[in-house]
Amino acid sequence: MIAPRILLIIGGGIAAYKACELVRLIRKGGGSVRCVLTEAAHHFVTPMSLAALSEQEVHTSLWDLKNETEMGHIQLSREADLVVVCPATADLMAKMAAGIADDLATTLLLATDKPVLVAPAMNVRMWLHPATQRNVARLRADGVTVLDPDEGAMACGEFGPGRLPEPPFIWGEIEKALDRPRAALAPGIKGGALAGRHVLVTAGPTHEPIDPVRYIANRSSGKQGYAIAEALAALGARVTLVSGPVSLPTPAGVHRIDVESAREMAAAVEAALPADVAVMVAAVADWRAEVAAGQKIKKDGSGAPPVLPLAENPDILAGLARNPRRPRLLIGFAAETEKVVDHAIAKRARKDADWIVANDVSGDVMGGDSNSIHIVTRTGVESWETMPKAEVAQRLATRIADEFA
């Protein structure tokens, strides 16, 4: 199979340094990549690094193309199989949407006859601004694939959607855009036992607002779910991690969507379907305040505590079991403090999951680094000895891959 040729246009944002990692992944995956930097991108990444990583000349200005007959902008834009814009700034997307061609990058984007994939990265307000959202909608209507940015803490100190998706995820999207199975492109590197599979993982606690400053939560750290997401990605799966509030870095190669409440988690899970496997590790709050007060609830001086009516949250796992797009393998977790296996057997049947991974949380499992689990399937129970959460994750990922072998 001929190696895919990628034209990588790098916009000027703090995430530009991640373009270097993307170049490395494209090369590792058997592709060739030619880089074009915008004027602003120079301030974040050097042509020298990109030339070294890509082993190709890096283009920066229209006027670099000294010999138009040798390498004109039309040829440069068309010799690729796919044009990737990473990171795409708000400004670059605005120019693309408007058809402006006032530098090499935008001229190539207007001149190309190849599919274009855009990975945006910008401040959360800039991403959410109606002008940017209009431009994204325009680009999508024009047939451009615009990835959703990741959510989370940003370099500028704010929080929300706008972070560049991790390079391994972008590489996965490039493979999809090229319509090639991962394993075929990258034998031995990307082609793991779960190559081509989409796995959905939930992790962490949920926060259920009581008023603007208080919430109902639990002690889940997210460590086990994050380790599972990482282990699945290492086996080549495309992993979407829907995470409650935790202070953990996004595992390599994982697409992370941050949520706060159970209802937000349920919506994010639904939006991420279809998936081949779902591993629901999140410690979802069973109840939320029926009504979250708009203002901070004050003591009224009577000495009587306020009444806080609770409402039951949707059961995301049970909902997924009934969903017409139910993943082929649906796995739940059960944190129990007594009769661990008995409760897990009942839970598996009640929620109609394929497996329940039961753990005894009577010790310091929540927040700790070790776990001892029992896997309850439709046909029996497997009990594993106590081991580090990372090892539980790796063995569980391998066990999942066996189901697809």
By the criterion CB under 6 A, which residues form the site for ligand C5P? 202, 262, 280, 282, 284, 313, 315-317, 332-334, 347
What's the CA gap between 320 and 284, in Å, rounded?
14
Cα gap 105→40, rounded to integer Å: 11
Q: How far is the CB of 270 from ligand C5P (least distance, A)?
A: 12
In the residue annotation, 156 being an active-site residue is answered as yes
Flag whether 333 is marked binding.
Answer: yes
The response to whether 299 counts as a known ligand-binding position is: no
Q: Is 347 marked within a binding site?
A: yes
Does 169 belong to an annotated binding site? no
Q: Please indicate if the annotation marks 317 as binding a ligand.
A: yes
CA distances from 233 to 84, 125, 155, 240, 397 (A): 22, 30, 25, 9, 9
Cα separation of the two ends of the chain: 24
CB of 356 to ligand C5P, least distance (A): 7
Task: Find out whether 338 and 362 touch, Cβ atoms under 8 Å.
Answer: yes
Token readout for 225 is 């779910």
Catalytic residue among 20, 35, 86, 156: 156
Q: How far is the CB of 229 from ligand C5P (least distance, A)?
A: 14
- Please tell me the total number of residues recorded for the chain in this structure: 405
What is the smallest separation between the CB atom of 138 and ligand C5P, expressed in angstroms? Answer: 37
Tell me whether residue 66 is annotated as binding.
no
For residue 286, say whether it is annotated as part of any ligand binding site.
Answer: yes
Q: Which is nearer to ligand C5P, 58 or 229 (CB)?
A: 229
Considering the complex, what minimum distance in angstroms separates the CB of residue 235 from ligand C5P? 21
Using CA atoms, how far residue 217 sits from 212, 221, 242, 347, 369, in Å, is 14, 11, 17, 22, 20
Residue whose pair of structure tokens reads 């916009």 in the numeric block: 11
Contact 103, 61 (CB under 8 A): yes
Question: What is the signed CA dihedral for 240, 246, 249, 254, rounded to 10 degrees?
Answer: 0
- Considering the complex, what minimum distance in angstroms separates the CB of residue 204 from ligand C5P? 10
Of 44 and 333, the one with the shorter C-beta distance to ligand C5P is 333
Residue type, 280: M
Q: Which of 161, 162, 180, 160 is nearest to 171 (CA)?
A: 180
Helix residue ranges, H only, 112-222: 124-128, 130-141, 167-177, 182-185
Non-local (6+) Cβ contacts of 384 within 8 A are: 372, 373, 374, 375, 392, 395
Q: What's the CA gap between 395 and 400, in Å, rounded?
A: 9
Binding residues, as ranges, are 286, 296, 314-317, 333, 347, 351
Binding residues for CTP, as ranges, are 286, 296, 314-317, 333, 347, 351
Return the active site residues: 156
